Amino acid sequence: MRILETVSELQQLADAERAAGRRIALVPTMGALHPGHLSLVKEARERADRVWVSIFVNPTQFDDPKDLSAYPRALDADLEACELAGVDVVFRPDAGEMYPSDSQTTVEVGGLCEPLCGLARPGHFRGVTTIVSKLLLAAKPHVAVFGEKDYQQLAVIRRMVRDLGFDVEVVGAATLREADGLAMSSRNANLDPEARRQAVALVRALDAAEAAVIAGETDRDELLALTRAELARAPLACIDYAELCDPDSLAPAPGSLESPALLALAVFFDPGDPDAGSRVRLIDNRVLPVRHNSEDTSS
């Protein structure tokens, strides 16, 4: 496994691999790797001859300096995990490499960035799209793999790639979950034991909404009330947002659902122990299988 730290090194290697007819897959990460990341590596391996992983905690996508400083970092463990997973190249630049001191250019997508995390975290997606653009230009991959847990991020990146004509296939990989259903996330490591126990409220809320839809509930407000009530069962939880949206446009879902709708959640968990540190923000989502009435059948 090779470890590269500069854009020029990575570009030169990409040119050589492409000239040799080998396909490159890139898995962009911010490190603190867990089995969910490694599932992305596995997906990448099935689609390419070479698998590259980037490890870079991107400062421009954090709206809170405390959140940036608290983001877990475990480089030695990350490198070991990548080697065991058969990663061919790890790209681990520093901030100065990705953002030279005289940088003046950013990349920004419009409407898809405005709701949900875009509304809750102004400037977040500008940071995401700027760094992903830089990574795609550096690695020149044929395929880039992202997790579906970050549903809005995946949608935004796909839009950016389409709109700007990047020559890369963007692949979304299914969310990997812990045994109790909690979506795997690097941020889970920052939960104290009590907050970790209560964090399963997210998946319970998704399960409850899906069960209600399957039972025939299509009223948006009723479904959101059910979702919020389930989250309220976790005393340490503070809802950032719980929204029902169109899965493609991310526009608000209508009052009466007639087609599949995205239920998107973002929840802060305050530490059960006041000395344990700052609160942790978790996200999760599910596309609810709403069917139009015309699809109903009777016996």
d(C-alpha 231, C-alpha 220), whole Å: 17
292 a catalytic residue:
no
Strand residues in 103-223 grouped as ranges (E): 143-147, 169-173
Instruction: Tell me the backbone φ, ψ of residue 280, rounded to 5 degrees.
Output: -120, 135
d(C-alpha 4, C-alpha 13), whole Å: 10
Question: Which residue among the candidates 37, 124, 142, 292 is catalytic per the annotation?
Answer: 37
Give me 10's structure tokens.
Answer: 């990575």
CA 109 from centroid of its chain's CA atoms: 16
In this structure, the chain runs to a length of 299
Give me 293's structure tokens.
Answer: 């009435």
What lies within 8 Å, CB to CB, of 135 at 6+ separation is 26, 28, 54, 56, 91
Contact in structure between 256 and 218 (CB atoms under 8 Å): yes
Closest to 201 in 3D by CA, of 183, 187, 189: 183
Task: Cite the active site residues.
Answer: 37
